[in-house]
A and B are shown apart, each in its own frame.
Chain A
Amino acid sequence: MDILIGITILLVYQLVGESMVLLLEWPVPGPVVGMLLLFLTLLAKGRIGAQLLSTANGLLSHLSLLFVPAGVGVLVHIDMIADEWLPILTALILSTLVTLALTALVMKWIHHFTSQEGKTHGRR
């Protein structure tokens, strides 16, 4: 019963999200709006219900399974990918390395800088 309630909550928020996107012609996908609305609801309520918590954890712990059908879709584009595999693979690998490194370093620097500043302010 818990999972049933949990999944219903998630679907209702997704449905409301999708409807808002359609009605207001927002350039954002429906599930993202649903997530934002659920987040705001949790902020307002101040706690997470047990049913929602166990369902969300269950769904997120096997998140990688959900990407499998889309991944098998490589079959549909096999010709295009065979044609352009070198630029595609090079772009994916280099871009992934650069993004991982830059994001981590920028966050480290700013975190370092702001916490240093915090300490200086604290001493004054």
Chain B
Amino acid sequence: MAADEFSSIWVYLSATPLLGLTLTLVAYISAYALYRRSEYNPFLNPVAVSVALLILLLLGTGTRYDDYFAGAQFVHFLLGPATVALAVPLYQQLTRLRALLLPIIVSLTTGICVAATSAVIIARLLGARPATLLSLAPKSVTAPVAMGIAERIGGLPSLTAVLVVTTGIIGAVVGFKIFAILGITDDSIKGIAMGVTSHGIGTARAFQISSEAGAFSGLAMALSAMASALLLPWLMSILGFTQ
């Protein structure tokens, strides 16, 4: 009886944007609280945990992704203004940006090419389909831009979004361990590598280390978004993955 009532209320609510939006915020706030209580254990990355919570909930209740997204799109929409907002940390790091211009340009170009080429080649060696390969190519670029690139080169934008988020989480989990192993101590270098590899999720992680690492990560993510939009379609055609 109570379960019946609950499911009819759920069916009614899942047809409105209110449910998807509220669930997204509640899942994220809970995941973030857990993350903070674990003293920022990278394996409890709040994006990964909230995505897992929401997937279990949607599968458990038989709610379709489209119904969920009707509400979650209000959060998703903010990726656009957030991309524009990256101009602010970029401007704040202007003096350091000028001083490090050459190392940044060279390492950024390296990072963009390595990220796309290595992923596509490894997946092809392991037998992934062409559509999957092209969806993988922009996986290190921030979500809204990566989806645009995938569309242009013939990948699946919505699959790319998932791969982008997964790449972000992997980078956030392993990034600072790699830097420790390689003996990288400079926060500006850590930031650039995080931003170019793991875009916004890496940037969110880098801001926890220091505001300098965060600003440089945001900078790398912003510059990489611009450069990738121009470079990747060209790179994929040189490598023979597109016409």
Binding site for B on A (CB under 8 A): 7, 10-11, 13-14, 17, 27-32, 34-36, 38-39, 42-43, 48, 52-53, 55-57, 59-61, 63-77, 80-81, 84, 86-88, 90-108, 110-111, 114
**What residues on B are CB-neighbors of A96 within 8 Å?**
115, 140, 167, 170-171, 174, 197-198
6 A-B contact pairs sorted by A residue (CB < 8 Å): A31-B79, A70-B164, A72-B68, A77-B162, A97-B174, A103-B110
Quote the shortest CB–CB distance from B93 to chain A (angstroms).
Answer: 11
Stretch at the interface among B5-13, B182-190, B235-243: B182-190
Cβ of B19 within 8 Å of any chain A Cβ, yes or no, is: no
Q: Nearest Cβ distance between residue A9 and chain B, in whole angstroms? A: 9
List which B174-228 residues lie within 8 A (CB) of chain A.
174-175, 178-179, 182, 184, 186, 189-190, 192-194, 196-198, 200-201, 203-204, 207, 218, 222, 225-226
Is A80 a contact of B132 with CB atoms below 8 Å? Answer: yes
Query: With A73-B162, A77-B159, A92-B119 given, is the CB distance from A68 to B87 under 8 Å?
Result: no
Q: Closest residue of chain A to B72, judged by CB?
A: A69
Q: What does the 1/0 interface line of B98-121 toward A look like (CB < 8 Å)? A: 001011101110110011001110
Q: Is the CB of A76 within 8 A of B158?
A: yes
In the assembled complex, the Cα of A29 lies from the Cα of B233 at a distance in Å of 13
Evaluate contact between A63 and B184: CB separation under 8 angstroms. no
Q: How large is the interface on B (under 10, 10 to 19, 20 to 34, 35 or more residues)?
A: 35 or more
B36 contacts the other chain (CB 8 A): no
The prevalent SS among residues of B at the interface is helix
Q: Are B87 and A39 in contact (CB under 8 A)?
A: yes
Chain A proximity of B95: nearest CB distance (Å) = 12
Query: Are A59 and B91 in contact (CB-based, < 8 A)?
Result: no
Question: Does B126 touch A at the CB level, under 8 Å?
Answer: yes
CB neighbours (8 Å) of B82 from chain A are 59-60, 63, 66
Residue of B nearest to A112 (CB): B103
A74 and B65 alpha carbons, distance in the complex (Å): 9
Interface centre among B68, B166, B203, by most A CB within 10 Å? B166
With the chains together, A42 CA to B55 CA distance in Å?
41
* Residue on B nearest A76 in the bound complex, by CB: B65
Judge whether B127 is part of the interface by a CB distance below 8 angstroms. Answer: yes
Please state if A87 and B122 are interface contacts (CB–CB under 8 Å).
yes
Instruction: Report how far A96 CA is from B196 CA in the complex, Å.
Output: 10
Return chain A residues, CB-CB under 8 Å to B108. 103
B163 at the interface (CB under 8 A from A): yes
CB distance from A104 to the nearest CB of B (A): 4
Query: Which of these, A11, A68, A98, contacts B24 with CB under 8 Å?
Result: A68
